[in-house]
Amino acid sequence: MRRKIGKQSIQLKHAPRITAAGTVVGHMENEGALTGHFDTVIPDDMWGQKTFEQCERLMFEQSVKLAMHKCGKRDGGVDVLLGGDLLNQIISAGFAARTLQLPFLGLYGACSTIVESLLIGSALVDGGFVDAAACAASSHFSTAERQYRMPLELGTQSTPTSQRTVTGAGCMLVCSQGDATNKNDWPESVDNVHVTGGTIGRVVDLGITDANNMGAAMAPAAADTLLAHLEDTGCSVDDYDAIITGDLGTFGSDMFAMLCEQHGIQVADKHMDCGKTIYLPSQDVVCGASGCGCAAVVLGAYILRRIEAGDIKKAFVMATGALMSPVSGMQGESIPGIAHGVVLERRN
């Protein structure tokens, strides 16, 4: 059965269903625009652990457990865990997989990881390779700052284009139509959200070298993936109720709209960016949010519900990642971006 469309896109003929999401966030994330939407809010940056890294791992683990719990999945009820995070050697995901004891495929797509995970997970379900895939990603402000930028203790000031890494972990369960525990008994269930297609991103680099301007580094990749998706599928932006990006932030979102316009595509009316959504302007986060966890928790806690409620019927969701490392930056490299996309649709 051929599922490839065009150059970079796939169609999911059996339209696997997202049956549940689990989200865990920090207190600041819950004090923003989406307050009350998340499953678990941790009281501080440590959550009773000895290190920030252990806290992030626990958040990752709990987001998977929450998603499984919501649709009655016990141990062994999920066939594969796909995911990653921003830490070196994706230790949040790897160590969480140790505790969860699920078959594990580690992914790294920087902040695009949650959609990379949904894309591969949904393909594996659609192809009949697994019945249920847990797709997850996490990030943590304090682990990311000290690994990518400066130790927090220095109190370094934010630059005008910086974005704040979300402390959050999100997991979504993608299940086949025939999956036994497909029915949810959770009060706020997701019953009608399907993954119907996707587009695998290419690496795009317009030469941005400022690690505090990730939005600009990632916006060209988002535009590239959207254009590829529309070309591959023969759809136009009008066929979608929403074009959603992961964490371009305010500056990156403007750049994304501008780049699309250069190709004759008007996205402004339909574009929503998770990085612009989660915090309130009063929270003083400069250009908005970023991090693997940003798209993961906004999708899991908010977008899925809007699709379920029917005010978004079809969305193209891209998460964007900056594929640099501190070492590549120090060696004079610019910041390559990537964006993967999935089509989420409400179907009865």
Q: How far apart are the first and last CA of the chain?
A: 24
Q: Looking at residues 217 to 236 of the shown chain, list those that interact with a second copy (rule: CB under 8 A).
A: none
Does position 80 bind a second copy by CB under 8 A? yes
Q: Which helix or strand (DSSP H or E) is residue 98 part of? A: helix 91-100
x/- site string to a second copy, residues 139 to 158, per CB under 8 A?
--------x-----------
CB contact burial 231-246 (16+ within 10 A = b; e otherwise)? ebbebebeebbbbbbb
Does position 310 bind a second copy by CB under 8 A? no
* Nearest of 320, 285, 298 to residue 141 by alpha carbon: 285
Does position 88 bind a second copy by CB under 8 A? yes
Please list, in sequence order, all residues whose beta carbon lies within 8 angstroms of the beta carbon of residue 115, skipping any fewer than 6 positions away.
109, 198, 246, 295, 317, 318, 319, 339, 340, 341, 342
> Applying CB under 8 A, which part among 64-72, 83-91, 241-249, 295-303 lies near a second copy?
83-91
Query: Residue 206 or residue 237: which is nearer to a second copy going by CB?
Result: 206
CB contact burial 306-344 (16+ within 10 A = b; e otherwise)? bbbeeebebbbbbbbbbbbbeeeeeeeeebbbbbbbbbb
Does position 103 bind a second copy by CB under 8 A? yes
Token digits of residue 64: 């998977």
Considering only 39, 45, 61, 126, the residue that binds a second copy (CB under 8 A) is 126
Considering only 33, 46, 91, 227, the residue that binds a second copy (CB under 8 A) is 91
Neighbouring C-beta atoms of residue 205, cutoff 10 Å: 17
Nearest approach in angstroms of CB 307 to a second copy is: 23
Does position 2 bind a second copy by CB under 8 A? yes
Token digits of residue 288: 């908005």
Does position 124 bind a second copy by CB under 8 A? yes
Does position 210 bind a second copy by CB under 8 A? no
Does position 209 bind a second copy by CB under 8 A? no
- CA 207 vs CA 232, 248, 250, 337: distances in Å: 27, 16, 19, 10
Nearest approach in angstroms of CB 38 to a second copy is: 27
The footprint of a second copy (CB under 8 A) covers 1-4, 7-8, 10, 50-51, 53-54, 76, 79-80, 84, 87-91, 94-95, 97-98, 101-110, 116, 119-120, 123-124, 126-131, 147, 200-205, 323-328, 331, 333, 336, 338, 340
